[in-house]
Structure 1
Amino acid sequence: MTLEDQRDSRSPTLADGTKGTFSLPTIRSDIAAMVRSKRGRAAMLGFLGAVLTTVGGFGAGSTLVTDRLLEDAHLSWMRFGHGLVLSSMTAWVGVACMIVAWIQLGRIALVHNVALNELRIIVGMWILPLIFAVPMFSRDTYSYLAQGALLRDGFDPYRVGAAANPGVFFDNVSAVWINTPSPYGPGFLLIAEGITKVVGNNLVAGTILMRLAMLPGLALMVWAVPYLARHFHGKPVVALWLAVLNPLVLIHLIGGVHNETLMVGLMVAGIALALKRKHIAGIALISIGFTIKAMAALALPFIVWIWVIHERERREAAGEGPEPYPMIAFAKCASLGAIVFASVYGAASVTAGVGIGWVSALQGSNQIKNWLSLPTVLAHAVTWFTPLGLDPVLSVTRPICWVVLIAVLVGTWWRFRRSEQDAVAGIAIALIAVVILSPAALPWYYSWPLAVGACFVISPRLLMFLAGICTFVMLVFLPDGPPASGPLHVALALLGAVVAAISLRFEDPLRLRAQKARRPR
């Protein structure tokens, strides 16, 4: 063991990640130790990657149709011709650096040589450059701002799309969403409206402010994910590494400016509060998450089980014996939860001045046709072997998968009801089922199940598989949003995923260092 390795493993109490705190003296000492270590070098590599991703994004990302800021800085050349090629290469090198650094930190985390506070610091380091980036891998933030402007200017975002309010926001919305009403909850519309009131029609300022508005969600994830892991005897450091430090999560949620950041943060924080027996507060947080994006509601039925379990434990501890009428106990917890949910949602709707039209607008995702969702994969497979077109086949595969999804959700809710761990595992399974079986899926959707599932004890083999999946999904979409269409790009993404997965367990799986050592001097 080298002197550096000894330094890396000196502090087993902090290294297991179970006693990390946010105290300034502790964080200061963690920074000093980290800078001199392997994990410090990995952190700096990831930071460099974030910087390069940000710089490359000014040309290769989801840029504005007319970007006066780049023009005034004489950087508009980055968007065209050879400049675009250079920008794309810079962005991809940055993404690769972040993935390599993430895998290195994962390898270190698996042997307990990194503290929880250190990973928290690294999360902050890596997102700092991304706050100032052009939206990466998606144009959704322009849709968010356009929907906020609709509410600001007196339109109902649940009835009309961005086309009803022409202007700079409309000009930059992806063509798929121009006429689509908002599929987001009233809470998020209030945030978007507030931002557009502050920035007017300034898209650059609006993008940065939207990112800042999402950061509380990331902070909740940084707190709640390790708490859940600790509660279920998992590894807090590994959980934070997988669910938060993951480049797929940071680049898409922060770089791409997605409201999943708030939704997921509120959901996992609500689960954590429910496990702390603060059931009403937990349901309230998850309900707020629902007013951001509907998927948070999947956790609520399982929180009812957690509440019922706690009531049963309370009776046993008080010597009152088992509940004579279990259905009454369930009805009590469910009805109180429903009251909290209705109160939160009603308050958000009244404040925003909108109704429930966004529920029907959720069908707008049907316009997305990529192979990340099982219905689309099945439809493509049918078209390969038959003369049928994609749309007619999708009209069959999507309803079939909807029926299967509903059956899975109901069955999972009933099956996973006997313990806290059952209930939270049920939430993770439900989220995975939605990602796979819903009509459309996008890379940032994977942040939903990762945030919940990372809290359990995960075998090294499964971690390798998850690292490979996350790497593949990260690499197979282009910086300006669409998925790669060429087989070469897909093959390279698959190769990168395999190397990343193997590298999590074995340093230098391609034996590049060994080959370098054999070269004659």
Structure 2
Amino acid sequence: MSELDQLRSAPRRQRFSRAVLAGYWGDVVTAWRVPAVRRGLLATTLLFVGSLTPAYLPQNSPWWDPIRALGWDTWPAKVLGTAMVVAAVVLLVDAWFRLRPGLYLDFKHWAVGLIWSLPLLFAPPIFSHDAYSYAAQGWLLYNGLNPYDTPVSVLPGAFADQVAWVWRYTPAPYGPLSLQISHLMVIVGGLNPYYATLLMRIPALVGVVLIVYFLPRLAARLGADVQLAAWFSTINPLLIIDLVGGMHNDGLMIGLIIVALYLTHLRPDRFWLGAIVVGVAAAVKQPALLAAYPVALIGLPWQWNTSHVLNKIGRAAVSSLIAVFTFVAISLVSGLNFGWINALDVPGRVVTLAPLSLLGEGVRLLCVAAGRPELGSQIAGGLLVAGVLASALIVAYLAVTVARRRPVTFLSWSYLVIALLGPAMHSWYLLWGGLLLPLTKPTHRLQRVAIGVTSVLLGYGAGNLAWRNDTGIALGLAGLALIVTLLVRYLDEHRRASGEAP
């Protein structure tokens, strides 16, 4: 192109860029005009202010100086902060319910997520200390230590002091790419422990953007309910709070998995490209490797003949090998190798919401009361092992029965089984399979169960903060009661709208 042609085309490109930006801004303005969107922004603003509380702030946090200057380090201030968080969760759930009829049809899902996320961008980690662990592990790498071999307590100081005490003496269980990203964020943060922690939100936001952009498009290609996918998955309060607010590296893992599924649906013959993306996702967090199997099966209609079955088995083997090779290559290039194998039991060392973890802890306490603490520990450990074996058997069954026709459904259900029967379960673990659930074309009953679980987990998060803040459980129970009330009202209204019998 000549210089004259370039000059002639420049104004056109500028006009196009301005039109695109104007369109995006128009989507934001349209979303802002919806009362429930503004209510959600109020909720996340209250969540930000309420998070500046002793329950989740390390003693060396820079927030302590203004908090003490304002007199917020008193018990009444703790109660007020906790009340803000409880109110925030209730308001966010209410706003989420109210947005379902018009989301994606009348206003854009991404604009809603953007507006709701703004107050949380500079907030300290919400409802979890994991981001502080990421920063401390990046600090180990900066000092030439391998987090797979060295706990963060080896380097006492500001970085280690931010980490929850139970994780100060354990090796890192995360993938090598996740650790190197943490290393980069520590450097970009100027070796400041708090700034480095806030920067952990960048990879989490990258994952959220991938989810928001690709998941509705994937739903459309699968013939699933795009509006349900946009509502349940891209503006789910758990996604906003755990991935944007909590900065968990699960966000980047999930986003990459969705990209792999989408790329494979575009070109099933290039499934190897999706397998590479799965390998990269596994280098962030290892459970992503499971996605290599459904990636291989996408676009292959099932037929009961030897050549077709062998073709599927061959593609599954090739996809798995490519994903594993990518993961191994990243591990070797990172210089961290495979020390995470020694940390496989780390997530299960504390009692979580995992059903078998709770059951095991109950049995252990009964045995302690009966004077048999050793027996209690053995039973609790045995239950965790049994859960892992059971989940492996169920996933294998789904791989044979469901995956051959509905590979994405296999992945969603398998991740939910692994989260529920695994040794540890957190709300962000349920997002692995939960965000994919709308792609499985769930029944109305299953939708109601998923919405109910989401609501209860949000109530638990608010109640847990009330407990840690020494403000009693009354506020937490009040918040949970309000959420359940909203849930019942929403389910009743949705049932009537869909014409179902009560």
Structure 2 counterparts to residues 436-451 of structure 1, below 5 A: 436-451=420-435
TM-score normalised to the size of structure 1?
0.82
- The alignment-based identity, stated in percent, is 24
Q: Which residue of 1 aligns with 2:128?
A: 138
Q: Which residue of 1 aligns with 2:295?
A: 303
Deviation, structure 1 residue 140: 0.5
2:53 alignment partner, SS class: helix
User: Alignment length, in residue pairs?
Assistant: 468
1:211 is matched with which residue: 201, 208, 227?
201
Q: Which residue of 2 aligns with 1:171?
A: 161
Q: Which residue of 1 aligns with 2:412?
A: 428
Supply the AA of the counterpart residue of 1:301. Answer: Y
Give CA-to-partner distance per residue, 1:341-362, whole Å, 9 cap, x none. Answer: 2442233223321111112212
Q: Which residue of 2 aligns with 1:476?
A: 460
Q: Distance in 2 between matches of 1:383 and 1:361?
A: 23
Structure 2 counterparts to residues 369-408 of structure 1, below 5 A: 369-370=351-352, 372-380=353-361, 382=363, 387=370, 389=373, 390-408=376-394
1:135 alignment partner, SS class: coil
Q: Distance in 1 between matches of 2:263 and 2:409?
A: 16
2:416/2:433 contact within 8 Å kept: yes
Q: Distance in 2 between matches of 1:93 and 1:333?
A: 50
Q: Which residue of 1 aligns with 2:15?
A: none
Supply the AA of the counterpart residue of 1:429. Answer: W
Q: Which residue of 2 aligns with 1:517?
A: none
1:504 alignment partner, SS class: helix
2:134/2:197 contact within 8 Å kept: no
Q: Distance in 2 between matches of 1:130 and 1:304?
A: 38
1:58 alignment partner, SS class: coil
1:62 alignment partner, SS class: coil
Q: Which residue of 1 aligns with 2:27?
A: 30
Deviates more, 1:182-191 or 1:158-167: 158-167
Q: 1:23 and 1:359, CA in 2 relative to 1: closer, same or farther beyond 3 A?
A: farther
2:137/2:152 contact within 8 Å kept: yes
Supply the AA of the counterpart residue of 2:273. Answer: A
Q: Which residue of 1 aligns with 2:98?
A: 104
1:82 is matched with which residue: 76, 98, 111?
76
Give CA-to-partner distance per residue, 1:176-232, whole Å, 9 cap, x none. Answer: 111111101111011001111222431231122110222110011002221232123
Give CA-to-partner distance per residue, 1:369-406, whole Å, 9 cap, x none. Answer: 12x21212332554687646553331221122122111
Q: Distance in 1 between matches of 2:258 and 2:488?
A: 30
1:62 is matched with which residue: 56, 60, 70?
56
Q: Which residue of 2 aligns with 1:279?
A: 271
Deviation, structure 1 residue 329: 2.2
1:65 alignment partner, SS class: coil
2:40 alignment partner, SS class: helix
1:224 is matched with which residue: 193, 198, 214?
214
1:136/1:256 contact within 8 Å kept: yes
1:477/1:483 contact within 8 Å kept: no
Give CA-to-partner distance per residue, 1:238-275, whole Å, 9 cap, x none. Answer: 21221121112211111111101101111112111122
1:77/1:84 contact within 8 Å kept: no
Deviates more, 1:148-157 or 1:452-461: 452-461
Deviates more, 1:486-495 or 1:267-276: 486-495
Deviates more, 1:125-134 or 1:349-358: 349-358
Q: Which residue of 1 aligns with 2:500?
A: none
What residue ranges of structure 1 are gaps of 5+ in the alignment?
Answer: 1-21, 314-321, 510-521
2:122 alignment partner, SS class: coil
Supply the AA of the counterpart residue of 1:375. Answer: L
What residue ranges of structure 2 are gaps of 5+ in the alignment?
Answer: 1-18, 496-502
Given the alignment of the two structures, is residue 359 of structure 1 paired with residue 353 of structure 2, yes or no? no
Q: Distance in 2 between matches of 1:76 and 1:354?
A: 45
2:105 is matched with which residue: 115, 120, 135?
115
Deviation, structure 1 residue 490: 6.6
TM-score normalised to the size of structure 2?
0.85
